[in-house]
Chain A
């Protein structure tokens, strides 16, 4: 057909459309990345306001501000929004911005689908948030929506919640397909898989996880829908079903899901630490294999979320051992990061501060995770604030700090301007103190016996709850500095160099700051940043 030989009508300069249509119709990976990131930031604040509502109610014993039914809607919506609205879209946004630039591609492989996967999200979340205004209120059964609380006993708005989850799932699956297609097909000639930056590697593995488990989530909410509206009894014992089946299916999705939220964070940190230690990442190969091992193990550990449902002894032992095993590849990663810093030449710009806090605080979350893996001890920890402390340690100073680190690290590349370093550092320190003051006391609360998801508590939990609430407000309001810094960086700021950082390596730094609209219009010559100089 000869279509490949047809001349491309290129004018040499091909910029974005102007006005709102630029954003509505865009197929450009950078525009879509920006949309994802801004959407995620917005959701982070909405979910954050819900968290502050929860913390304000828990400031003192007794019911002061909200009623228990609204409190349950807040905990549920906070979890759903932070997981599906803030953390996941932020990583997809980073993938959109960075993967083409890191592998020397002009754009994502499937740009039109890319547009669609983003634009589903605002509608999905508008629908989900609108349930809060409906009669009976929004979802009030926890972000894990265990049946039959989420089926027979759910408010009528649950149907909208199910539909919203379906839409988010479609968006995630399309995003993941796009990432895989881009990475496998559009690397610049000469870049082998084992030459890819770790952020690209972790995203490749994450994308496979997404494709594997999002349909499971869609399946479980569809089963709920059938139970609610079409008379089936998947989760209703009275009709021959089993409420525990819900938990098995949910956590078969849910456990890989938590790794979907942390693997790209590993990638980000593995980019940042070598830059500011001015030393090549220690153990690149083992990092790749560790990531893949964590991903594979994530499929055989799900029932550690269900130690108290009454599994047989053999089941408890199996899931205890498999869960403990995850500590090995995770440990390898932490050791590699520390070995990268060891005998480096370190500086501590804002992205590095966030990355270092990530390593320490994520590891603390890992330790509490190891404790939770011990089934007999888990009978005491399960469904208490100890669990709340654990997953907030891996998600807030884990995933969220890595996202902030990434934003500071690549913002000069994206905008062409340097952000305000002192304000960035202030933002870091306030966040670091805020996060620890909020979540560290929750370990104590859980061990002392405070169950999670309660709007009011016994008097012996009063002091640490008050401390945690102070921390939460400090952390929450510090994020305004982040927003201010981003806005001022976009609008003004010192001109950034192409390389931005002294120790940065990789193809994205060979582009101008800000990069051209179509990142690499022709494949760059790939030269491994380290292999040539030994």
Chain B
């Protein structure tokens, strides 16, 4: 009976083990690139060296603690210096450090080889989303958190990729050298995907370079690593690596999407349609600062509810939304959203939370954007 229980427990343990391992991840990922694997190996080498040193040093220390204690009748020795010992334990660490520095330098030099990329992508950090612009191709889009607010506020069950999912992932081909040019629109962000071993700061006014070459198609997730304000924890990165054929299809698809979007910018929308679409756009683009109910955060982000900007001249309101306010966190949304989205969200802001303002049409915005 006891043996049977033991066997059941053992089997249960076997099934449970991988689950546990998935949850209690304790080490770096090996990753999906040559660089990430060499970083992983470097990490393990240094870790083992540290463990070996720890075993020796703590070994001597615990030996002394156990055997050279007064309660065992230990009498203190009188030695207090030894030039030879001091020289040895200065030189030995230097040798160990040199042996660490050699592979570390090799890997670093490899990482800094930024030449001859197949694809160049400009990555721009915005307060709390990423913009991916494929240079020399007509592809340019924003990528922001896709996890619904209800999951964050614990009203819904959390999905598998909670906080690590975006509306539009960065898509790159496998086996090609992709160069990233990183910059920022506002504060410093840091673009990090552990499986690629790429982490580079995105700094306003400066362009940083990094690159990757991913072996296998797959989905790799990461996060902004540099504190960038309120929603720093909510700007994930998803990289979808496609086979080269699939990537070509994806690129072609982007061109047709672009045409469809240009058509949608011409459409007529009723106030009800604008309000409905505006609410969605508001949640995605505006609510992080101005809050769900338009109340803002006093002293940091102005309230929209009851703001004279919302009820006054629409031209001024449109101007702020399209071009931002320099020197503040208010971004220029003219480059981020299409005409239909802009018209919807402005109309929504002018007619919500007690605001009574005019409707703004898609055409009005389209013409302004053409200028």
Closest-CB distance, B225 to chain A (whole angstroms): 4
B332 at the interface (CB under 8 A from A): no
A470 at the interface (CB under 8 A from B): no
Q: Which of A242, A345, A376 contacts B206 (CB 8 A)?
A: A242
Using A284-B81, A331-B89 as known contacts, say yes or no to A447 and B97 having CB atoms under 8 A apart: no
Interface segment out of the listed A161-169, A312-320, A478-486, A490-498: A312-320
Determine the distance from Cα of A67 to Cα of B270 in the docked complex, in whole angstroms: 36
Contact A136 B86 (CB under 8 A): no
Determine the distance from Cα of A342 to Cα of B61 in the docked complex, in whole angstroms: 7
Closest-CB distance, B279 to chain A (whole angstroms): 22
Q: Which of A72, A152, A371, A534 contacts B47 (CB 8 A)?
A: A371
28 A–B pairs (Cβ distance < 8 Å), ordered by A:
A135-B299, A136-B300, A140-B229, A149-B187, A152-B186, A242-B206, A278-B70, A282-B80, A316-B112, A343-B64, A343-B76, A346-B64, A348-B69, A363-B57, A370-B100, A371-B46, A374-B42, A375-B108, A376-B104, A380-B199, A383-B199, A444-B24, A444-B26, A444-B27, A448-B25, A448-B28, A452-B227, A457-B233
Total inter-chain residue pairs, C-beta < 8 Å: 307
Using A237-B205, A371-B46, A376-B107 as known contacts, say yes or no to A343 and B68 having CB atoms under 8 A apart: yes
Closest-CB distance, A332 to chain B (whole angstroms): 6
Contact B68 A345 (CB under 8 A): yes
Contact B80 A327 (CB under 8 A): no
Determine the distance from Cα of A3 to Cα of B224 in the docked complex, in whole angstroms: 68
Contact A359 B161 (CB under 8 A): no
Using A141-B227, A308-B190 as known contacts, say yes or no to A283 and B46 having CB atoms under 8 A apart: no
B370 at the interface (CB under 8 A from A): no
Contact A149 B229 (CB under 8 A): yes
Closest-CB distance, A269 to chain B (whole angstroms): 13
Q: Which of A156, A370, A451, A456 contacts B50 (CB 8 A)?
A: A370
A8 at the interface (CB under 8 A from B): no
Q: What is the chain B residue whose CB lies nearest that of A309? A: B201
8 A Cβ contacts from B125-163 to A: 127, 151-154, 158, 160-163
Determine the distance from Cα of A243 to Cα of B327 in the docked complex, in whole angstroms: 14
Contact B203 A380 (CB under 8 A): no
Contact A69 B297 (CB under 8 A): yes
Known contacts A308-B200, A451-B232, A458-B163, then 4 further A-B pairs from the complex at CB < 8 Å, ordered by chain A residue: A327-B93, A379-B198, A382-B225, A447-B27
B85 at the interface (CB under 8 A from A): yes
Size of interface on B: residues with Cβ below 8 Å to A: 103
Interface centre among A238, A309, A363, A449 (most CB of B within 10 A): A449
B228 at the interface (CB under 8 A from A): yes
Contact A383 B187 (CB under 8 A): no
Using A152-B327, A380-B39 as known contacts, say yes or no to A332 and B86 having CB atoms under 8 A apart: yes
Contact A341 B107 (CB under 8 A): no
Q: Which of B46, B97, B206, B298 contacts A328 (CB 8 A)?
A: B97
Contact B154 A64 (CB under 8 A): yes
Q: What is the chain B residue whose CB lies nearest that of A533? A: B78
